[in-house]
Amino acid sequence: MFKKITLTVAAGVIALGTVATTPAVANEKVITDPSIFEQMKMRDKTVQDKVTQTECGDCHMVFPPSRLTGNAWVKIMSNLGDHFGDDATLDAESVKHIQDYLVKNALDRPGKNGKIGIRTKMRLAAWKKKGVVDPIRITETPEWTRHHTKERHYLNMIEAIGYKAGSNCIQCHKGAEHGLYEEFDGLYGGN
pLDDT value for 8: 47
Q: How far apart are CA 94 and CA 88, in angstroms?
A: 12
For the full predicted model, state whether its pTM sits above 0.85.
Answer: no
Q: Which of 1-15, 64-78, 110-124, 156-170 has the lowest mean pLDDT?
A: 1-15
Q: Which residue has the higher pLDDT, 110 or 27?
A: 110
DSSP string, 120-161: HHHHHHHHHHTT-SS-S-GGGSHHHHHHHTS-HHHHHHHHHH
Q: How far apart are CA 52 and CA 182, in angstroms?
A: 24
pLDDT value for 30: 46
Angle between helices 92-104 and 50-57 (to 10 degrees): 110
Q: Residue 19 pLDDT > 90, yes or no? A: no
What letter would DSSP give residue 115?
A: S
What letter would DSSP give residue 169?
A: G
The pLDDT confidence band at residue 170, using thresholds 50, 70 and 90, is confident
**Contact between 180 and 41 (Cβ < 8 Å):** no
Q: Which residue has the higher pLDDT, 118 or 145?
A: 118
Q: Which of 16-20, 51-55, 93-97, 140-144 has the lowest mean pLDDT?
A: 16-20
